[in-house]
Amino acid sequence: MSTLRVLGIDPGLTRCGVGVVDVDRTRRATLVHVGVVRTPLEADLPARLAAVAAGIREVIAEHRPDAVAVERVFAQHNVQTVMGTAQASGVALLVAAEAGLPADTHTPSEVKAAVTGYGSADKRQVQSMVARILRLDVLPKPADAADALAIALCHAWRGGETARAVAGALTPAQRAWTDAERSTRVRDRRLGPVHR
């Protein structure tokens, strides 16, 4: 596999960011698709989750990614917000599984570090670096869409079994980095979830 196509998903109930990128063996990334799946606030929860699922299915059917990457949900002070995000995340992982696609999750700090080199970067920094990496003339908007692209880039560069299919282009240092990240994820799974 010389090019990896990744669908990145920034899960949300009101706005679910979706972004598809192609990444080649030289780590050069190209924009394929970016958008946001929106659901109406007045709709009931099952209908909103169904709309998120339908939107993700459309993107998968049209762009046929090799893998799906979803931002991992962490506990927040606003329980209602985190519940909606977690439910949308579950829908995204379910849709990926239904399509027979490998899926993985990445923490916000992993994603920020992958695209900006700094795990605490702000939204504007992420948008700017995503635009630079993908050679875009304008910043991808809204932030949910930029985050989805960042998640896809993170997955292609740093994680997931499918991403390692293009690892032949990695330097020994990059390969050591991905191996260390995989070991950390395995350890974290054994120790249980970390709340930030």
Q: Which residues are catalytic?
A: 10, 71, 144
10 belongs to an annotated ligand binding site: yes
Torsion, Cα 120 123 128 134, to 10 degrees, reads 90
Per-residue b/e over 111-132, b at no fewer than 16 CB within 10 Å?
bbbbbbeeeebeeeebbbbbbe
Contact 4, 22 (CB under 8 A): yes
Separation of alpha carbons 132 and 15, rounded Å? 24
d(CA 6, CA 4): 6
Give Dmax over CA atoms of the chain in angstroms.
52
Structure tokens at 165: 């299919």
Task: Write out the binding residues.
Answer: 10, 71, 144
Task: Write out the binding residues for Mg(2+).
Answer: 10, 71, 144
